[in-house]
């Protein structure tokens, strides 16, 4: 009898868990859809919400249609790529954060730890100093971000292996070095032109989003995230203790570096088109973990949807609150830091309780 | 025995001679000393007219050249000022200006005291409103410093006057200030008669390429000169100089767009090839102009400001203002730099090659 009850109880608990997760995902997706739609309808240029949706529908149903009116161009060429790019970047940053926190078994880790952001920042600042704009700038940012990860890899590799601690320390070293060079570039930049541009770029913004830029960043963001999702089982194993992971047959060093490279692709693509955006990669995975738990199979998609929605909301605020564009980094920090503090307190109170 | 009277008389004669000498030479000695109060409200004291001047402030380098009528006295400048010399016409008028050291300061106005001291300046011109940290190293090195404030026409005239006094050319400033005053009053007199609904909405973009920045009216010299020439600042609602997005520009829908002269790679095509900006009134009516780069960039206040106002006024209200800008430029350049502008020079300063087809720009073409 007892065995029977246990057998029935396990699927019942699982069913409740699944139902809860389905509900959470449905809610997250609904919230994202609302944020996405509202974001397309609001902006500094007044386009009635109904008209904005109508224009969007027309553009989807007849993509070859010529965009004549200014309201049409603003909704289709300015807002839509911006919202899509913000959503992709938010999803990418959140999923990267979740992946890294798993690999490092440390909830305080964010994608910045590998030096990608600072490396990419160096590329961007240098490009702005040299008067390079557009795609060459994007390419430079991306390459410098990747170079930073490669340097971290080389530096942390001792006797053919790289331990978690050496990776974190190497990331810190490379990050600091690039940060120093960025400071140097700021020091010698022209205070009338390149300096404000560099400072603004370092604070992050989707203001320059176009479909071309979105298409440039999308492959890295989408493919990187998808590959990370494919590694969800591996991430579950990597988030175990080193010895335990090895006993399960994982080549931890190789797999960890695979994750790092994917994250470099995601973050490099994001920084290249929108500058450095902090906090998303650290706050969102925490929030997602509270909603769906630690299992990367659920955590990664939840973080992605939540990150996308959050980023879209933040960007909408940045571009509509005042006539001046508020840099994203300012809002993500202002909103992200208190949320993070609240989540941390909640997390530790729960742990203490359990 | 020498008569007492003779002794007295010799002594008094000596005294009289000394007094006479004092009367004759002392005023000359005093006249050499130059004392004035700078815009940081400090007393600047120079034993004699400054022979070696360093300008850490960017536009003042070209102003010192203009006030002196040559490059002899300028012994150091900001790297950004030097780029304007190299890119603009000053480098052509005064090729030796390209050799003036620019290692005396970082572009962000933090002085390199050792390089500065090595330049051995009698006077260092520095900003007075950007904190004591960029001033103290200069005064601590024992160098005489003149602090200036940025922003308005009054301040500009005041610091130009101070500089001319400091370099011992007080006679130069009279005609320059008189010129500024005359042109300003002329434009004002005509512009005040323009009804508000006839004033175009003018947007000046201080930066465009990496992010777009515009300014509110308060404290903006560009907004002031737009209003002087009978325009309205399209971005008046802003607070200070801040980043804006294209959607916001579409909402303002300016009638005229001025692009800054700071970004070398920026030209009017940037507006015309943009899907949103190309639909603004300014782009549709071809009223997009990049600010000229003459002896200095025409956007901030400088020695050539009246030319900049005339250029603006002619473009905003061609029916009211018909300055013969080319002739005015030739006269001004002769006065400022003792240089005869060629037609090619003027075309380059006004970017005629790039924006000759803009509305109203044909008036600036050589006749």
Residue in chain A nearest B253 by alpha carbon: A45
**CB within 8 A of A46, min separation 6: which ones?**
B251
For the record, the structure tokens of B87 come out as: 């890119």
* A185 min Cα distance to partner chain B (Å): 11
Q: What are phi and psi of B26, to 5 degrees?
A: -55, -45
Residue B192 CB neighbour total at 10 angstroms: 8
Geometric angle at alpha carbon A335, from A334 and A340, rounded to 5°: 105
Kindly provide the residue ranges of all beta strands, DSSP E only, lying in chain B, ordered along the sequence.
34-37, 43-46, 53-55, 74-77, 123-127, 145-148, 201-205, 212-215, 232-233, 241-244, 256-259, 288-290
Cα distance from N-terminal residue to C-terminal residue, chain B: 92
Question: A176 with A95: CB under 8 angstroms?
Answer: no
Q: Do B247 and A45 touch (CB under 8 A)?
A: yes
Q: Which of residues 146-205 of A touch B (CB under 8 A)?
A: 187-193, 195-198, 200-201, 205
- Rounded to a whole number of angstroms, the distance from the CA of A199 to the nearest CA of chain B is 10
Q: What is the pLDDT of residues A293-317, one digit of tens each?
A: 999 999 999 999 999 999 999 999 9
Structure tokens given for A320: 């509509």
Touching B: A residues 81-110, CB under 8 Å: none
Strands B212-215 and B241-244: antiparallel
Q: What ipTM does this complex have? A: 0.83
Tens-of-pLDDT digits for all 354 residues of chain A? 445 555 566 688 888 888 999 999 999 999 999 999 999 999 999 999 999 999 999 999 998 888 888 999 999 999 999 999 999 999 999 999 999 999 888 877 888 888 988 999 999 999 988 888 778 888 899 899 989 989 998 998 887 777 778 888 999 999 999 999 999 999 888 887 788 888 888 888 998 899 999 999 999 999 999 999 999 999 999 888 878 888 888 788 888 889 999 999 999 999 988 988 989 999 999 999 989 999 999 999 999 999 999 999 999 999 999 999 998 988 999 988 898 888 778 777 877 765
* Chain B closest-CA separation from residue A97 CA (Å): 28
Strand B288-290, strand B256-259: pairing? parallel
pLDDT band at B24 (very low <50, low <70, confident <90, very high): low
Cβ of A73 and B275 within 8 Å?
yes
For chain A, the farthest-separated pair of C-alpha atoms sits apart, in whole angstroms, at 81
Are residues A131 and B264, on separate chains, in Cβ contact within 8 Å?
A: yes
Nearest by CB to residue B262, choosing from A77, A192, A200, is A192
Neighbours of A166 (CB within 10 A): 15
């Amino acid at each position: 009898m007892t065995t029977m009850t246990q057998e029935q109880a396990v699927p019942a608990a699982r069913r409740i868990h699944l139902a809860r997760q389905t509900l959470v995902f449905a809610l997250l997706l609904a919230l994202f859809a609302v944020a996405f739609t509202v974001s397309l309808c609001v902006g500094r240029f007044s386009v009635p919400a109904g008209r904005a949706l109508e224009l969007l529908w027309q553009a989807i149903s007849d993509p070859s249609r010529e965009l004549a009116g200014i309201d049409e161009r603003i909704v289709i060429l300015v807002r839509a790529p911006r919202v899509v790019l913000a959503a992709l970047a938010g999803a990418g940053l959140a999923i990267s954060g979740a992946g890294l926190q798993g690999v490092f078994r440390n909830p305080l880790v964010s994608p910045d730890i590998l030096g990608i952001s600072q490396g990419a920042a160096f590329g961007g600042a240098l490009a702005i100093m040299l008067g390079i704009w557009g795609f060459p700038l994007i390419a430079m940012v991306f390459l410098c971000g990747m170079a930073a990860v490669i340097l971290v890899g080389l530096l942390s590799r001792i006797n053919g292996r790289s331990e978690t601690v050496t990776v974190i320390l190497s990331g810190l070293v490379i990050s600091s070095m690039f940060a120093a060079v960025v400071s140097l570039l700021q020091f010698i930049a022209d205070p009338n032109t390149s300096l404000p541009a560099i400072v603004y770029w370092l604070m992050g913004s989707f203001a320059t989003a176009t479909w071309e830029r979105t298409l440039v960043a999308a492959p890295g963001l989408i493919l990187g995230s998808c590959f990370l999702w494919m590694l969800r089982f591996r991430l579950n194993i990597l988030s175990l203790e080193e010895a335990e992971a090895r006993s399960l047959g994982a080549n931890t060093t190789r797999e960890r570096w695979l994750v790092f490279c994917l994250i470099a692709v995601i973050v490099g693509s994001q920084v290249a088109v929108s500058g450095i955006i902090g906090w998303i990669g650290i706050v969102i995975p925490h929030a997602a973990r509270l909603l769906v738990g630690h299992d990367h199979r659920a955590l990664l998609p939840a973080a992605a949807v939540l990150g996308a929605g959050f980023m879209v909301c933040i960007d909408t605020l940045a571009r509509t609150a005042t006539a001046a564009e508020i840099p994203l980094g300012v809002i993500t920090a202002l909103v992200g830091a208190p949320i993070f503090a609240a989540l941390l307190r909640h997390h530790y109170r729960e742990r203490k309780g359990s | 025995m020498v008569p007492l009277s003779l002794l007295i008389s010799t002594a008094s004669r000596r005294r009289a001679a000394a007094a006479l000498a004092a009367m004759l030479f002392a005023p000359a000695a005093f006249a050499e000393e130059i004392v004035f109060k700078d815009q940081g409200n400090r007393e600047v004291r120079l034993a004699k007219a400054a022979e070696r001047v360093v300008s850490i402030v960017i536009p003042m380098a070209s102003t010192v050249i203009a006030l002196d009528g040559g490059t002899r006295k300028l012994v150091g400048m900001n790297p950004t000022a030097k780029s304007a010399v190299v890119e603009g016409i000053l480098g052509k008028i005064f090729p030796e200006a390209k050799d003036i050291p620019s290692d005396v300061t970082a572009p962000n106005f933090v002085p390199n005291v050792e390089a500065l001291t090595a330049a051995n300046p009698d006077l260092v011109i520095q900003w007075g409103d950007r904190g004591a940290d960029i001033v103290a190293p200069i005064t601590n090195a024992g160098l005489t410093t003149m602090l200036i404030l940025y922003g308005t026409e009054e301040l500009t005239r005041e610091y130009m006057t101070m500089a001319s006094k400091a370099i011992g050319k007080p006679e130069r400033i009279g005609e320059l200030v008189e010129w500024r005053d005359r042109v300003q009053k002329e434009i004002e007199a005509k512009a005040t008669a323009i009804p508000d609904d006839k004033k175009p909405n003018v947007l000046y973009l201080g930066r465009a390429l990496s992010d777009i920045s515009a300014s509110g009216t308060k404290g903006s010299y560009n907004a002031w000169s737009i209003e002087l020439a009978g325009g309205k600042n399209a971005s008046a609602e802003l607070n200070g100089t801040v980043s804006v997005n294209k959607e916001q520009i579409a909402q303002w829908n300016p009638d005229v767009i001025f692009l800054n002269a700071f970004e070398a790679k920026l030209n009017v095509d940037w507006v015309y090839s943009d899907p949103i900006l190309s639909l603004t009134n300014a782009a549709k009516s071809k009223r997009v102009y990049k600010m000229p780069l003459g002896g200095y960039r025409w956007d901030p206040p400088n020695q050539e400001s009246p030319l900049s106002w005339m250029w603006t006024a002619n473009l905003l209200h061609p029916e009211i203002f018909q300055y013969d800008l080319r002739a005015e430029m030739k006269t001004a350049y002769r006065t400022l730099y003792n240089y005869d502008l060629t037609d090619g020079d003027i075309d380059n300063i006004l970017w005629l090659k790039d924006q000759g087809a803009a509305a109203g720009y044909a008036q600036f073409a050589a006749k």
